[in-house]
Amino acid sequence: MMLFNRGALRLTVLLQIALATLPLSCSAAASAQDWSYRVRPGDTLWDLGTRYLKPTVSWEELQNHNAVANPYRLPPGQVLRFPIAWLRVEPAPARVVAVRGQVDVSAGGEPAAAVREGMRLPIGSHIRTGADASITLAFADDSRLLLRENSELRLDQLSSYGATGMVDTRLRLQRGRSGSRVTPAQGPASRYMITAPTATSSVRGTVFRVSAGQDGDPAVTEVVEGRVQVGNRHGQRMVDPGQASLSASATRAPAPAQPLPAAPVIDAARLRLEPLPLLAAWQPVPQARGYRVEVVRADAPEILLFARDTPDSSIRIDDLPPGQLRLLVRAVTADGVEGHDSAHDFQVPDGLPPPLTTAPVHGQTLALAQPRFAWAQVPGASGSVLQIAQDTDFRQPLVERRTDATRLRSPVALAPGDYYWRVASVDAQGRSGRFGQALPLRISDAPPESGLQPAQAGKGQLTLRWQAGAEGQRYRVQVDRRGDFSAPLLDRETSAPEVVMKQPWRGGTLHVRVQYIDDDGYAAPFSTAQQIRLPCKLCYGAGAGALLLLAL
């Protein structure tokens, strides 16, 4: 996860066996320190005491602690010292900034409930994320934590020191992975700690990731910004930015720091960020067992919108919410260490929804080289965009055409084969919305069938009928003796799906074919020619009878 870029203070990671003693030692150190306040014009000791001190501590004690001679006159710029133990301490519940997928929380013995954006989670809350889920929390100093999929986190301590800006945040990562962007400390009592099964990460402002270690992988602390001191009773090491610390056991000194894997090199020729689906491919990173792919909000990278672990060096993402987003790709080593991000920003338009399609139907086979596509009108749309391609990725569409209408014939002839088509709406400003589903279509080289019905003969006339086409279509019918239609007996256009012709003066076999003509003048290929065998009675003028139309 790529988090906010900002100045970071020094980070210390302590690996301890007796983790329970750590909060006590930190509290003892904090109690021996003072928080400093610079006097502003108009400040008085009793006002400052009311604002910052516990109710059991009087402003006179603050006066004595600072040797203030005249409590009625505090020179602006004077520095007053407040003992940490005297400061007001208040609960500071975590705020749920974003939720993706199934995330549950339980607290105080209550049954687990689904987490919703905007909820306030108190001390003792136990959070669990599902297989494709994440949650982003904000704490009192606006530090942010992203809890990833298949993870568990307990909120051990959430408090603030009144209006001082100092916050005490202690978290227990019991399973899975997290990423944090921690606001630089505002004073000596500020604390942000994540305890994992084999490691405690104590920070005062930095960007880092923590893994609890599972499925044979060790616990890992990956430093994106700042310097990290990693240690236990067996030794300590300083870890520089861009390095990782592995902790397989608390009974041995931490292993020497190792560099984070390099950011994958994205193949620009195979990168398509707009429109969806998003397509990306990258060069394999040596010794990488796989890759972590994420999409986050560009203005708040700790809010995760899409996440996937993949052994492949390519990805396809079909759906994303609108907004200014960021694609992140990083390599993962055999030990589970995640490396530097390759980042690319892109925009998903918040435009009109895709229209409903009406023709051709899903998966239809057409014997038309230039079929006509039709769709519904989306309210507020001033036009549409039609795309036709030979693959569902639409990386290189064969057709991409805008129109003000809700139907459009393919401007190019499509060779026999399989295709996909989709449509997007265009608003009054000319901005294209999301494309709809890619719909399959097959173009056949077989001539279409006309659905000719048995011919009717009578009163010296021969009547031919065929299957009616779409509303507005016209028809061209040809009747020929030899079957090559070089000199047809009949060549006529009609608006009705039938034609009446004079009976031929002699019998034999007639060949008949029909062509459908759309209302825009587009003429489909002629249907397969069918045969009419004239009965002997008709040949000799012995009377009228039904003529059978025999398909070839």
The string of DSSP letters for 468-530 reads --STT-EEEEEEESSSS-SS-SEEEEESSSEEEEEPPSS-EEEEEEEEEE-TTS-BPPPPPPE
pLDDT of 265 reads: 98
DSSP-derived secondary structure letter, 20? G
Average pLDDT over residues 41-64: 95
Share of the chain above pLDDT 90, in %: 61
Tens digits of per-residue pLDDT, 352-392? Answer: 989 999 999 899 999 889 999 999 999 999 999 999 999 98
| Predicted confidence (pLDDT) per residue in 393-405, tens digit | 898 899 999 999 9
pLDDT score at 417: 96
CATH class for the domain made up of 455-550: mainly beta
Domain limits, CATH 2.60.120.1440, in the chain: 91-259
Q: Which two tokens stand for residue 282?
A: 């990258």
Mean pLDDT for all residues in the chain: 87
C-beta of residue 334 within 8 angstroms of C-beta of residue 287: yes
The token duo for 274 is 């707009």
Residue pLDDT, tens place only, 268-320: 999 999 888 899 999 999 999 999 999 999 999 999 999 999 999 999 998 89
Which one, of 289, 252, 283, 284, lies nearest residue 268 by Cα?
A: 283
Mean pLDDT highest for which of 232-236, 365-369, 449-453? 365-369
CATH 1.10.3720.10 fits 357-443, yes or no: no
Distance CA 179, CA 210 (A): 6
Tell me, what's the pLDDT at 250? 67
Q: Tell whether the model's pLDDT for residue 8 goes beyond 90.
A: no
Which range is least confidently modeled, 61-70, 78-87, 122-131, 521-530?
521-530
Indicate where the chain has its CATH 2.60.40.10 domain(s).
268-348, 357-443, 455-550
Joined together, the tokens standing for residue 191 give 């604390």
- The Cα diameter of the chain in Å comes to 138
Q: Which CATH class is domain 26-86?
A: alpha beta
User: What residues pair up with 271 in beta bridges, in sequence order?
Assistant: none
Q: What CATH number is given for 91-259 in this structure?
A: 2.60.120.1440
Q: What pTM did the predictor assign?
A: 0.76
Q: Regarding predicted confidence, which is higher, 30 or 248?
A: 248
Q: How far apart are CA 535 and CA 533, in angstroms?
A: 6
| 268-348: CATH, from 3.30.930.10, 3.10.20.30, 1.10.3720.10, 2.60.40.10 | 2.60.40.10
Higher pLDDT, 166 or 449: 166
The whole-number pLDDT of residue 248 equals 75
**Size of the chain in residues:** 552
Check if the beta carbon of residue 145 is closer than 8 Å to that of residue 178.
Answer: yes
In tens, the pLDDT along 469-518 reads 888 899 999 999 999 999 999 999 999 999 998 887 777 889 999 999 99
Name the more confident of 22 and 351.
351
The yes-or-no verdict on residue 325 having pLDDT over 70 is yes
CATH 3.10.350.10 residue ranges for the chain: 26-86
Give the burial class of 266: count Cβ atoms within 10 A of its Cβ; 0-12 exposed, 13-18 middle, 19 or more buried: middle
Structure tokens at 507: 């019998």
Which residues lie closer than 8 Å to 118 by C-beta, 6 or more apart?
A: 95, 96
Confirm if 109 and 138 have CB atoms less than 8 A apart: no
